[in-house]
Amino acid sequence: MPIKKIVGLTLFIQLLFCCQKTNDVRLNSYVIPLPQSQILNEGQFKLDGSTTINFPDEFNISGNFLKNFIAKGSVLKNEDNANIEFILDPNIKNSEGYSLEITANKIKIKATSDQGAFYAVQTLRQLMPSDLEKGGANVEPIKIPCQIIEDYPRFKYRGMHLDVGRHMYSVAFIKKYIDALAMLKMNTFHWHLTEDQGWRIEIKTYPKLNEIAAFRNETLIGHYSDQPHQFDGQRYGGYYSQEEVKEIVAYALKRHVTIIPEIEMPGHSQAAISAYPELGCTGRQVDVATKWGVFEHIYCSKEQTFEFLEAVLDEVIALFPSEYIHIGGDEAPKTNWKACSECQKRIRSEGLKDEHELQNYFISRIESYLNSKGRQIIGWDEILEGGLAPNATVMSWRGMNGAIEAAKKKHQVIMTPTSHCYFDYYQSDNENEPLAIGGFLPLEKVYHFNPIPEELNQEESKYVLGAQGNIWTEYMPTDAKVEYMAFPRILAMCEVLWSNEDQKNYSHFVERLENFHERLEALNINYANHLYEVEGHLVSTQDGVFYKLETLTKNKDIRFSTDGTEPTFESSLYDEQIWIDSDTDIRAAVFKKEKKLGATFEQNINFHKAVGQKIKLNVEPHSAYSGSGKNGLINGIVGSDNRYGDKEWLGFWGDDLRITIDFEDDIEVTSIKTRFHNGQGQWIYAPKEIIIEFITEDQVISKLIKINAGESIIANINEEFEKIRAKTIIFKIPNFGIIPEKRQGAGNKAWTFIDEISIN
| Residue 380: contacted member of Zn ion, ligand ACM, none (CB under 5 to 8 Å, by partner type) | ligand ACM
**Residue 97 burial (CB < 10 Å; 0-12/13-18/19+)?**
buried
Which residue number, 164 or 340, has a Cβ lying nearer to Zn ion?
340
Positions touching ligand ACM (CB under 6 A) are 330-331, 380, 397
Binding of residue 273 to Zn ion (CB under 5 A):
no
| Residue 397: contacted member of ligand ACM, Zn ion, none (CB under 5 to 8 Å, by partner type) | ligand ACM
Torsions phi, psi of 689, nearest 5? -160, 160
Q: 32, 495 in Cβ contact below 8 A?
A: yes
Binding of residue 342 to Zn ion (CB under 5 A):
yes
Which of 5, 138, 140, 10 shows the shortest CA–CA distance to 75?
A: 10
How many residues bind to Zn ion according to rule CB under 5 A? 5
Which residue number, 214 or 395, has a Cβ lying nearer to ligand ACM?
395
Task: Please state the closest distance from residue 281 (CB atom) to Zn ion, in A.
Answer: 3
Pick from 32, 332, 343, 750: which binds Zn ion (CB under 5 A)?
343
Cα 474 to chain centroid distance, Å, stands at 14
Task: Please state the closest distance from residue 397 (CB atom) to ligand ACM, in A.
Answer: 4
Torsions phi, psi of 37, nearest 5? -145, 130
| Residue 557: contacted member of ligand ACM, Zn ion, none (CB under 5 to 8 Å, by partner type) | none
Which residue number, 270 or 561, has a Cβ lying nearer to ligand ACM?
270
Angle in degrees, 0-180, between the axes of helices 506-522 and 489-498, rounded to the nearest 10: 120
Alpha carbon distance 144, 309 (integer Å): 53
Which residue number, 234 or 285, has a Cβ lying nearer to Zn ion?
285
Which residue number, 157 or 547, has a Cβ lying nearer to ligand ACM?
157
Task: Please identify the residue of the shown chain whose CB is closest to the bound ligand ACM.
Answer: 330
Full strand arrangement of the beta sheet holding 544-551: 534-541, 544-551, 578-580
- In terms of DSSP H, where are the helices of 43-170? 60-70, 114-126
| Residue 331: contacted member of ligand ACM, Zn ion, none (CB under 5 to 8 Å, by partner type) | ligand ACM
Which residue number, 331 or 385, has a Cβ lying nearer to ligand ACM?
331
Alpha carbon distance 120, 688 (integer Å): 57
Which residue number, 361 or 425, has a Cβ lying nearer to ligand ACM?
425
Task: Please state the closest distance from residue 681 (CB atom) to ligand ACM, in A.
Answer: 11
Task: Please state the closest distance from residue 380 (CB atom) to ligand ACM, in A.
Answer: 5
Which of 259, 416, 260 shows the shortest CA–CA distance to 330?
A: 416
Torsions phi, psi of 393, nearest 5? -100, 135
DSSP 315: H
CA distance between the termini of the chain: 83
Task: Please state the closest distance from residue 372 (CB atom) to ligand ACM, in A.
Answer: 26
Site string for Zn ion, 50-89 (x = CB under 5 A): ----------------------------------------
Helix or strand run (H / E) with residue 447: helix 443-447
Torsions phi, psi of 620, nearest 5? -75, 150
Which of 633, 635, 613, 636 shows the shortest CA–CA distance to 676?
A: 633
Task: Please state the closest distance from residue 417 (CB atom) to ligand ACM, in A.
Answer: 10
| Residue 300: contacted member of Zn ion, ligand ACM, none (CB under 5 to 8 Å, by partner type) | Zn ion
Task: Please state the closest distance from residue 279 (CB atom) to Zn ion, in A.
Answer: 9
Which residue number, 380 or 736, has a Cβ lying nearer to ligand ACM?
380
Binding of residue 352 to Zn ion (CB under 5 A):
no
Task: Please state the closest distance from residue 388 (CB atom) to ligand ACM, in A.
Answer: 17
Other Cβ atoms closer than 10 A to 432:
7
Stretch that binds Zn ion, among 40-48, 342-350, 611-619, 677-685 (CB under 5 A): 342-350
Binding of residue 281 to Zn ion (CB under 5 A):
yes
| Residue 693: contacted member of Zn ion, ligand ACM, none (CB under 5 to 8 Å, by partner type) | none
Which residue number, 145 or 328, has a Cβ lying nearer to ligand ACM?
328
Stretch that binds Zn ion, among 145-153, 338-346, 649-657, 676-684 (CB under 5 A): 338-346
Q: Which residues contact 121 (CB under 8 A, 6 or more apart)?
A: 62, 65, 66, 69, 109
Q: 589, 559 in Cβ contact below 8 A?
A: yes
Task: Please state the closest distance from residue 741 (CB atom) to Zn ion, in A.
Answer: 17
Task: Please state the closest distance from residue 365 (CB atom) to Zn ion, in A.
Answer: 14
Which residue number, 360 or 640, has a Cβ lying nearer to Zn ion?
360
Which of 289, 314, 280 shows the shortest CA–CA distance to 206?
A: 314
Binding of residue 358 to Zn ion (CB under 5 A):
no
Stretch that binds Zn ion, among 260-268, 275-283, 436-444, 594-602 (CB under 5 A): 275-283
Which residue number, 306 or 663, has a Cβ lying nearer to Zn ion?
306
Task: Please state the closest distance from residue 472 (CB atom) to ligand ACM, in A.
Answer: 6
Alpha carbon distance 150, 101 (integer Å): 9
Q: 424, 437 in Cβ contact below 8 A?
A: yes
Task: Please state the closest distance from residue 194 (CB atom) to ligand ACM, in A.
Answer: 13
Q: Are strands 758-759 and 657-677 parallel, antiparallel or unpaired?
A: antiparallel
Q: 485, 491 in Cβ contact below 8 A?
A: no
Task: Please state the closest distance from residue 399 (CB atom) to ligand ACM, in A.
Answer: 12
Cα 566 to chain centroid distance, Å, stands at 33
In the chain, what are the helix, strand and coil shares in percent, each to the nearest 5?
A: 25, 30, 45
Which residue number, 88 or 395, has a Cβ lying nearer to ligand ACM?
395
Which residue number, 154 or 166, has a Cβ lying nearer to ligand ACM?
166
Q: Which residues contact 97 (CB under 8 A, 6 or more apart)?
A: 111, 112, 116, 119, 150, 151, 152, 153
Task: Please state the closest distance from residue 307 (CB atom) to ligand ACM, in A.
Answer: 26
Which residue number, 294 or 340, has a Cβ lying nearer to Zn ion?
340
| Residue 342: contacted member of Zn ion, ligand ACM, none (CB under 5 to 8 Å, by partner type) | Zn ion
DSSP 522: H
| Residue 340: contacted member of Zn ion, ligand ACM, none (CB under 5 to 8 Å, by partner type) | Zn ion
- Tell me how many helices (H) and strands (E) the chain has: 18, 37
Question: Which of positions 291-330 make contact with Zn ion (CB under 5 A)?
Answer: 300
Stretch that binds Zn ion, among 259-267, 341-349, 399-407, 577-585 (CB under 5 A): 341-349
DSSP per residue, 460-484: HHTTEEEEEEB---TT--SHHHHHH
Which residue number, 332 or 491, has a Cβ lying nearer to ligand ACM?
332
Is the torsion defined by CA of 709, 712, 715, 719 positive or negative? negative
Buried b / exposed e over 292-306, threshold 16 CB at 10 Å, is bebbbbbbbbbeebe
Task: Please state the closest distance from residue 268 (CB atom) to ligand ACM, in A.
Answer: 8
| Residue 137: contacted member of ligand ACM, Zn ion, none (CB under 5 to 8 Å, by partner type) | none
Cα 417 to chain centroid distance, Å, stands at 9
Pick from 121, 259, 263, 340: which binds Zn ion (CB under 5 A)?
340
Task: Please state the closest distance from residue 196 (CB atom) to Zn ion, in A.
Answer: 17
Which residue number, 591 or 683, has a Cβ lying nearer to ligand ACM?
683
Sites of contact with Zn ion (CB under 5 A): 281, 300, 340, 342-343
